[in-house]
């Protein structure tokens, strides 16, 4: 009986020491990686907005095979490039690079099958139809993602001057720059407002303001936004007042927006030429010359 008590006591001491070690190890890891973990949680939150209908479902073995096929046909570093394009598109529908690769492989196989079906009706075009439809299905997800990112970046470039005006008013009214970013991000809508909110969240969990702003510029392809971030970082390094920099940048952005509007207005005359020539002129010629041509052909006039 005494031996059993001794063994039980030793086992309890061993379990206690093991739990203490595990607590210290995991607690130290959380303390060291707290900022990094918080950044990852913010990225997961922004990547998970707009959940797709199939979000959260387990990936089937067939989709994993499709992803492997797409990886073998894609160049090295395709996952990182896809993640950058997803960030520029605002991570629509909770998409991930792995899911995109799966659908690229699925599109390749589906396009090949469609090409085979067309080949049965036109056997002579089989060597051209199968690769063409397969390539179309393979690059279709990239095209859709590029289109989504292009629209989002155009929205950012269009709303940037208004956001800068609000920042100027907020800073000159007495708010600090961080508080002005938070206020403008919370009281406005759109992709740029969401980016400002993300910047403030990253600052609150331990990132410096410069790092968070640079990360925002890397997630965007708008030259004006990158210029604005570069001016802010340089002003912070040199000790220049933020309010003065914001006012200069806001004035410059308004000038650029007016210049872009004038450029589009000047291009309108050239763009409207093609529909006028191919759509309007044939109808005018038909109305003006049609009766005369009919009379001439019928022999009742123009003798």
Task: Render pLDDT for 121-139 as a digit per residue (tens, 0 to 9).
Answer: 777 776 788 888 888 989 9
Alpha carbon distance 247, 279 (integer Å): 48
State the pLDDT at residue 65. 85
- Assign 253 a pLDDT band (cuts: 50, 70, 90): confident
State the pLDDT at residue 300. 56
| DSSP letter (8 states) at residue 114 | H
Which helix (H) or strand (E) segment holds residue 34: the answer is helix 34-47
* Averaged pLDDT of the chain: 77
State the pLDDT at residue 23. 39
- Does the structure show a pLDDT above 50 at 202? yes
- Does the structure show a pLDDT above 80 at 41? no
Alpha carbon distance 253, 164 (integer Å): 8
State the pLDDT at residue 217. 87
**Phi, psi (deg, nearest 5) at residue 201:** -65, -40
Q: Which residue has the higher pLDDT, 22 or 102?
A: 102
Nearest of 152, 136, 163 to residue 50 by alpha carbon: 152
What secondary structure does DSSP assign to 277-299, as a single string? IIIIHHHHHHHHHHHHHHHHHHT
State the pLDDT at residue 249. 86
State the pLDDT at residue 59. 60
Q: Are 180 and 167 in contact (CB under 8 A)?
A: yes
State the pLDDT at residue 139. 92
* Domains in the chain: ranges and CATH: 62-153 (no CATH), 159-260 (1.20.81.30)
- Does the structure show a pLDDT above 60 at 55? no
State the pLDDT at residue 190. 87
Neighbouring CB atoms inside 10 A of 145's CB total 18
Sheet strands (E) in 124-219: none
What secondary structure does DSSP assign to 53-112, as a single string? TTTTPPPPHHHHHHHHHHHHHSPTTHHHHHHHHHHHTT-GGG--HHHHHHHHHHHHHHHH
């Amino acid at each position: 009986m005494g031996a059993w008590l001794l063994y039980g006591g030793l086992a309890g001491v061993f379990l206690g020491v093991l739990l203490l070690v595990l607590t210290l190890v995991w607690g130290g890891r959380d303390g060291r990686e707290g900022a990094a973990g918080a950044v990852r949680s913010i990225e997961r939150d922004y990547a998970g907005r707009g959940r797709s209908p199939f979000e959260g479902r387990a990936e089937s073995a067939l989709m994993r095979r499709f992803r492997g096929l797409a990886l073998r046909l894609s160049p090295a570093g395709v996952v990182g490039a896809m993640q950058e394009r997803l960030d520029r598109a605002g991570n629509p529908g909770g998409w991930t690079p792995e899911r995109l690769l799966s659908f690229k492989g699925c599109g390749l196989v589906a396009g090949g099958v469609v090409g085979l079906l067309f080949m049965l009706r036109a056997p002579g075009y089989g060597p051209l139809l199968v690769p063409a439809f397969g390539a179309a299905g393979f690059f279709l997800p990239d095209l859709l993602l590029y289109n989504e990112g292009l629209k989002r970046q155009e929205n950012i470039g269009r709303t940037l001057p208004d956001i800068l005006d609000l920042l100027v008013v907020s800073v000159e009214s007495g708010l600090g720059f961080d508080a002005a970013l938070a206020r403008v991000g919370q009281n406005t809508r759109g992709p740029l407002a969401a980016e400002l909110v993300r910047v403030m969240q990253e600052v609150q969990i331990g990132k410096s303001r410069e790092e968070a702003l640079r990360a925002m510029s890397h997630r965007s392809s708008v030259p004006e936004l990158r210029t604005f971030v570069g001016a802010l970082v340089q002003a912070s390094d040199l000790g220049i007042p933020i309010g003065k920099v914001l006012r200069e940048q806001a004035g410059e952005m308004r000038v650029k927006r007016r210049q872009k509007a004038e450029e589009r207005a000047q291009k309108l005359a050239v763009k409207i030429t093609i529909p006028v020539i191919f759509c309007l002129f044939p109808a005018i010629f038909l109305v003006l010359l049609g009766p005369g041509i009919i009379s001439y052909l019928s022999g009742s006039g123009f003798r």
